[in-house]
Amino acid sequence: MSVIPIVEMGAIGKITLLQTLSNFALGDHDRSSIKLLKELPHLWGRLSISGLQSVGGYRYFSCKLEGNEGLLQLSLKWDSDADDSQREREVLDGLQPTTNLNKLFIHCCGGTRFPAWLGKHLFRSMVLTCLRNCRNCSLIELEINGFDGVKL
């Protein structure tokens, strides 16, 4: 598998029928390159986006992934030293995934709260949600009910 450096990723937006992009890695100074994902509405399967601490906040992009109906697994990763709560909340808000998602992983997000879309009942296919090392978030309430098919 070859890795495409971010400086060459501008060309990815021109490949509008691209279906598979397993890892979208952002570099230290790539504040706006995340918006390239908006140009790829046919992605399916799994997608990992790493280096999210580099994104300059919501004003730099509007790339909700909810239009990617074939996207089933999404992993969102920040470096462990990310610490801009407002910006990280804006980034999460801007990456709202499709409701067809069945696995969601959020790693090292420094935000103090999760986006509203995370708790929506619209995730009808969700089988796994993993929140790791989100140290600044205070989870006030977690409610799970109506899941007759959940095995404990």
- Do 69 and 42 contact (CB within 8 A), yes or no? no
Amino acid 72: pLDDT: 92
Amino acid 103: pLDDT: 93
- Is this model's pTM higher than 0.85 or not? no
CA distances from 43 to 2, 49, 96 (A): 18, 13, 14
Map out the domains of the chain as residue ranges: 42-137
Q: Is 36 left (phi over 0), alpha (psi -120 to 50) or beta?
A: alpha
Which is it for strands 103-107 and 71-77: parallel, antiparallel or unpaired?
Answer: parallel
Amino acid 14: pLDDT: 59
Nearest-angstrom CA–CA distance, 101 and 98: 6
- Do 97 and 123 contact (CB within 8 A), yes or no? no
Amino acid 110: pLDDT: 83
Q: In the structure encoding, which two tokens stand for residue 150, read together?
A: 């959940």
Q: In the structure encoding, which two tokens stand for residue 99, read together?
A: 């409701």
Amino acid 1: pLDDT: 44
User: Within the chain, which residues score under 50 in pLDDT?
Assistant: 1-8
Amino acid 75: pLDDT: 94
- Do 96 and 65 contact (CB within 8 A), yes or no? yes
Tell me: the pLDDT tens digits for 30-62?
666 777 787 788 888 999 999 888 887 665 566
